[in-house]
Amino acid sequence: MMAASKPVESQSGSGFPRWQLALLVGTPIVLGVGAVYLWKRNKTKDTPGKSNGERTTPEGSANPVQGQGARCEQEDMSPLDRAQGAKNKGNKYFKAGKYEQAIQCYTEAIGLCPRDNQTDLSTFYQNRAAAYEQQMKWTEVVQDCTQAVVINPRYIKALFRRAKALERLDNKKECLEDVTAVCILEAFQNQQSMLLADKVLKLLGKEKAKDQYKNRDPLMPSPQFIKSYFSSFTDDIISQPLQKGEKKDEDKDNEGEAAEVTESSGYLKAKQYMEEENYDKIISECTKEVESGGKYTAEALLLRATFYLLIGNATGAQPDLDRVINMEDANVKLRANALIKRGSMYMQQQQPMMSTQDFNMAAEIDTRNADVYHHRGQLKILLDQVEEAVRDFDECILLRPDSALAQAQKGFALYRQAYTGNSQSQVQTAMDGFEDIIRRFPKCAEGYALYAQALTDQQQFGKADHMYNKCIYLEPDNATTYVHKGLLQLQWKQDLDRGLDFISRAIEIDNKCDFAYETMGTIEVQRGNLEKAIDMFNKAINLAKSEMEMAHLYSLCDAAYAQTEVARKYGLKPPTL
């Protein structure tokens, strides 16, 4: 687990933290499919456009018929035939890049078309919107697409064109509703519409999180989360138990000295509160130590910064971390730990270069600090630099051969490398490696959890379930294990009720487990219970530990809300479980 990040148990089945998975949605890999779709779409007869992005000579006469204002009607034809003729002329003007003349023809077609020919009328409005789109007249595009959709509420081309125009007009909410309708109508098969939905959701999520996160009330995570966080450090002075002589002042030989320590050392009080799991008092006691200029100022700054990070207050944490890092006379372990935590904070803020710099600096000033290599290995995994991650885990293991956590995470890194490389022999080697890890470290819950994720990938569901049972036996209060076990029931047996029972159990164990609320919300979306899903996402939002995580959760919530609006307006619902 990287400092200031989620414990590894909170990761998804892919091994990425949830915020990283959110970043991966809509990556450029899907653009190839989108480009093919776009090329095919531009070949259709009724949609004015340019094949392959080039102007082509329209079918029929070499040039559009010229006349007063490009009028196209013929006296001996029915109104509908004359309207179709006007549309056809408009298409030719469109292909020739003469959009104003095309608009005149489409306008004429709209005027000529009998009102009871609804399908044709909606097409004429949509075609005129396409011409306005070429002129970047976004308001007119929206108006004409709206007319087309009023007539034909499931008109995909009009809905998608309106969505794109609404995006240009910075109307993200209505844009999202339109593109959501398109995605449902296309059964989520069109990469182009899914990319737009993903883009708008991310923008909406970032906007909302930016305002909400800075005004949120700080929330201390559960004791289980805090203990899991600190367990990922072995060279961290501030997380070590109090020394024998520090625990109780009455143990001191000199009572006067003891009284002096009691009055001046807020840091020692904070450490005592840590042992008692009385976490809410730690920041204030550290502040007393810092303001009094006590001998534990550096330790107090680092401990205060750590708890600022835990409650999601990176703004408060950074000045403290900066001070410790710049204290050249401070214990090198303190400075290295501060660099690890600031580097992890930068990674959460999507600043990978600054994060890498901090980890590298930590390795330079404290070359034999196992924590540096352990957490830098996690950073490398997030950056998809798996070979470098394995080297860092090896260095950590060399320094601390008994580090079960590093062994387990190295095993998972090797598995991911083999899995993404489509090497079945290497996958099997990695799976054998997991067997060796759980044999050598039978009390490391992390080893079983990561092995279970790999087994799930390999569809060895029964064995994965057994590994999660081992985790629960070792750590019965770890809520995230119950969430993963619940998800496994859905994937393995399609047992929705049993899956939800496990996730509900996770919430009973830890009512601050945002992963459980997010997962339950996602399942409720798939069940079609959108109002309940929104409620679950809002609970997760209130527990978000970073602005990035909050943005991702708002995106999920907005997606669910958009589906409720689409269902209300158009009667459209995606398939449900």
Give per-residue pLDDT as tens, 111-154: 999 999 999 999 999 999 999 999 999 999 999 999 999 999 99
Distance of CA 508 to the CA centre of its chain: 25
From residue 12, alpha-carbon distances to 20, 189, 270, 421 in Å are 10, 24, 34, 20
The answer to whether the beta carbons of residues 575 and 567 sit under 8 Å apart is: no
From residue 92, alpha-carbon distances to 38, 75, 255, 488 in Å are 20, 21, 98, 56
pTM, to two decimals: 0.79
Question: pLDDT tens digits, the chain, 577 residues: what are they?
Answer: 443 333 333 333 333 333 222 222 222 222 222 222 222 233 333 444 433 333 232 222 333 334 444 444 455 689 999 999 999 999 999 999 999 999 999 999 999 999 999 999 999 999 999 999 999 999 999 999 999 999 999 999 999 999 999 999 999 999 999 999 999 999 999 999 999 999 999 999 999 999 898 888 889 999 999 999 999 999 889 988 876 555 544 444 444 333 334 446 899 999 999 999 999 999 999 999 999 998 999 999 999 999 999 999 999 999 999 999 999 999 999 999 999 999 999 998 889 999 999 999 999 999 999 999 999 999 999 888 999 999 999 999 999 999 999 999 999 999 999 998 888 999 999 999 999 999 999 999 999 999 999 999 999 999 999 999 999 999 999 999 999 999 999 999 999 999 999 999 999 999 999 999 999 999 999 888 999 999 999 999 999 988 889 999 999 999 999 999 999 998 888 877 6
Nearest to 510 by CA among 466, 540, 552, 489: 540
Distance of CA 503 to the CA centre of its chain: 20
Which residue has tokens 């109307």? 171
The two three-digit tokens of residue 410, written as one number: 């190295």
* DSSP-H helix ranges across 404-478: 404-420, 424-440, 445-457, 461-474
- Alpha carbon distance 84, 89 (integer Å): 9
